[in-house]
A and B are shown apart, each in its own frame.
Chain A
């Protein structure tokens, strides 16, 4: 059975996804409360996987709790922390728990996180993980054995639309499409012009594009993510705009609304990253024609 997200995308509906970080600990109450508040606003919720290489509860548990609540999750899965056995068994566990949207990621490098001495795995890369998803969907594991119970994963991948050299980024994305990615969720977009070039270039791949929008909470936060999050660069003029505002958070919401409006005609959906300020998502989306 296709997932809700898949059904919407296939029907040409404009989708809205948002990501929520699972807790560092086993108490998912706040996580679920945040998710519940977004019911009706968001089509699917990304559950991040040890984001930025910071250890948190495995996304499998909170994603399964979302399913129980009737909210559709997109399970993020990184190659950083698991070898091919662990990745496949995690995926089968997800399928058993009713989780079918998977975002296949290589994962931020271990040195960025809170366990810098850990051994990184990277047994597969993101393209090979997408191939593993397709193999499982075909009823087999990577060893060639037949599965009892065949999953129906809706596979997605990450894209960095502003990364240069562009040609190299595109080469990577076409490999992801070939390996079975059906949708791309992109890194935060700051330049709709550059995004337009990207959207144009990926169109022949036939993969749905969900454009990333990051809520800039303050000039300080914008500078922090620029310095510390791989592939994320907030342009100086946006930082200046935040700096010059008496209420930086409000200004951040205004910037996000502006980005969303500019991106709306260029993509198949929006992926919102509010970094703990999820209560502001409805405001960011207000008036969006979906």
Chain B
């Protein structure tokens, strides 16, 4: 899922600027799990905005704010409260914000900072394990991603900063190559440990991505 975090309220207020009538949009998927843009946060935001002297014309929590057509349809369905608003404040990831900005004429304000594609460790604790590189190497690396979990994205073993199996960047974390090495060795898979991984083809993750499935 996409991990996001609410911007400080002062920053949100500054971004809203002169706009007095605000319509709120949340997302029922990732932003809800992150406690950044679900029903609860929409209510809290409504109160904060009211206290700051803004009029909240209405709100909606969209099932998936990243769904361009659904957002367009749902906002149209809301009618007057949306049309009457001077700005829409979106508590969803950057993709969600852009579905909204594409669907309306008014100014669309992002209320969250979008962080990364994350795994859920436990409620409220998210970890980045994949950075969507477009050509997955996990089959060679014992199912552990060096592109993402190593801060330097080293593909051929640990950097010179690794010690006691710990990462130079974060002494609490185990170096990804220490993890990969022990797993492969335990399985008796030595080939990937000897082979040199060539320079990665980063064209596979060139922006902006687009994929149309063939029927």
Q: Which of A's residues lie within 8 Å of B, judged by CB?
A: 79-80, 84, 105-109, 111, 120, 122-128, 131-132, 142, 158-160, 162-165, 167-169, 171-172, 174-175, 178-179, 187, 230-231, 233
Partner of B161, one of A168, A175, A230: A230
Query: Which residues of chain A are near B138, meaning CB under 8 Å?
Result: none
Check A125 against B155 for contact (C-beta < 8 Å). yes
User: Would you give the shortest CB distance from B181 to chain A, in whole angstroms?
Assistant: 5
A-B contact pairs, 9 of them (CB 8 A): A109-B168, A111-B169, A120-B151, A125-B152, A127-B157, A160-B160, A160-B161, A168-B158, A178-B196
Check B159 against A106 for contact (C-beta < 8 Å). yes
Check B151 against A171 for contact (C-beta < 8 Å). no
- Please judge, given known A-B contacts A122-B154, A125-B153, A165-B178, whether A230 and B160 are in contact too, CB under 8 Å: yes
Partner of A120, one of B152, B162, B181, B196: B152
Please measure, in the bound complex, the distance between the C-alpha atom of A268 and the C-alpha atom of B194, giving whole angstroms. Answer: 26
- Please judge, given known A-B contacts A106-B160, A126-B159, A127-B156, whether A165 and B165 are in contact too, CB under 8 Å: yes
Within 8 A of A (CB), among B142-201: 151-165, 168-169, 177-178, 181, 193-194, 196-200
Please measure, in the bound complex, the distance between the C-alpha atom of A120 and the C-alpha atom of B168, giving whole angstroms. Answer: 15
How many residue pairs at the A-B interface have CB separations less than 8 Å? 103
Query: Which residues of chain B are near A163, meaning CB under 8 Å?
Result: 158, 160, 162-163
Query: Which residues of chain B are near A174, meaning CB under 8 Å?
Result: 194
Please measure, in the bound complex, the distance between the C-alpha atom of A183 and the C-alpha atom of B162, giving whole angstroms. Answer: 21
Please measure, in the bound complex, the distance between the C-alpha atom of A122 and the C-alpha atom of B163, giving whole angstroms. Answer: 20
Q: Is B202 an interface residue (CB 8 A)?
A: yes
Interface centre among A120, A178, A179, A231 (most CB of B within 10 A): A231
- Please judge, given known A-B contacts A123-B199, A125-B152, whether A164 and B164 are in contact too, CB under 8 Å: yes
Query: Which residues of chain B are near A124, meaning CB under 8 Å?
Result: 199
User: Would you give the shortest CB distance from A11 to chain B, in whole angstroms?
Assistant: 28
Check A109 against B161 for contact (C-beta < 8 Å). yes
Please give me the residue from chain A that is nearest to B155 by CB atom. A125
Check A164 against B196 for contact (C-beta < 8 Å). no
Partner of B199, one of A106, A142, A178: A142
Check A231 against B181 for contact (C-beta < 8 Å). no
Please measure, in the bound complex, the distance between the C-alpha atom of A132 and the C-alpha atom of B196, giving whole angstroms. Answer: 13
Check B162 against A231 for contact (C-beta < 8 Å). yes
Please measure, in the bound complex, the distance between the C-alpha atom of A150 and the C-alpha atom of B130, giving whole angstroms. Answer: 39
User: Would you give the shortest CB distance from B207 to chain A, in whole angstroms?
Assistant: 14
Please measure, in the bound complex, the distance between the C-alpha atom of A220 and the C-alpha atom of B112, giving whole angstroms. Answer: 44
Check A231 against B169 for contact (C-beta < 8 Å). no
Check A172 against B163 for contact (C-beta < 8 Å). no
User: Would you give the shortest CB distance from B92 to chain A, in whole angstroms?
Assistant: 26
Partner of A168, one of B151, B181, B198: B181
Check B156 against A175 for contact (C-beta < 8 Å). yes
Query: Which residues of chain B are near A105, meaning CB under 8 Å?
Result: 160
Check A128 against B163 for contact (C-beta < 8 Å). no
User: Would you give the shortest CB distance from A138 to chain B, in whole angstroms?
Assistant: 15
Please measure, in the bound complex, the distance between the C-alpha atom of A83 and the C-alpha atom of B202, giving whole angstroms. Answer: 11
Give B63-81 as 1s and 0s: 1 = Cβ < 8 Å from A's Cβ atoms.
Answer: 0000000000000000000
Query: Which residues of chain A are near B194, meaning CB under 8 Å?
Result: 174
Query: Which residues of chain B are near A111, meaning CB under 8 Å?
Result: 169
Q: Considering the complex of A and B, which 5 residue pairs feature the smallest CB-CB distances, nearest first? A: A230-B161, A172-B157, A230-B168, A127-B156, A160-B160
